[in-house]
Amino acid sequence: MDCIFCKIANKEIPKELVLENEELIAFDDIHPKTPVHILVVTKAHVASVKELENPELAGDMVMAAKKIAGEKNLDGYKLLFNVGREGGQEIDHLHLHLMGGK
């Protein structure tokens, strides 16, 4: 499958990771919209929240984002899932935007 986030997760495309565990990776968004803009990405290919069936995975993504925000000393931040084209989703591989910083 020609999926850029799968390629990053498989290490086919090298990327400096902010976090990696058994099920998730996180890295800087290539076009940051805020001073800190990090994507928390599942290693497994799930197209979007619409296809997500495992509630634990969603919880783990939020907890990973929270951990990174703490490490970056972010006081407040936004967590965002874009869902589907109409929801602004451009990459059809589940990811959570962590956006914050001054």
Q: Which of 39, 35, 27, 21 is nearest to 74 (CA)?
A: 35
Residue 4 found at the interface with ligand AMP (CB under 6 A) = yes
Q: Which C-beta is closer to ligand AMP: that of 42 or that of 89?
A: 89
Which residues inside 28-87 make contact with ligand AMP, applying CB under 6 A? 29-31, 39, 82
Query: Residue 9 binds which entry of ligand AMP, Zn ion, none, with Cβ cut-offs from 5 to 8 Å by kind?
Result: none
Active site residue 95: yes
Residue 89 found at the interface with ligand AMP (CB under 6 A) = yes
In sequence order, which residues have a C-beta less than 8 Å from that of residue 68 and are 6 or more positions away?
Answer: 18, 19, 26, 38, 40, 98
Q: Which residues bind Zn ion (CB under 5 A)?
A: 3, 5-6, 45, 93
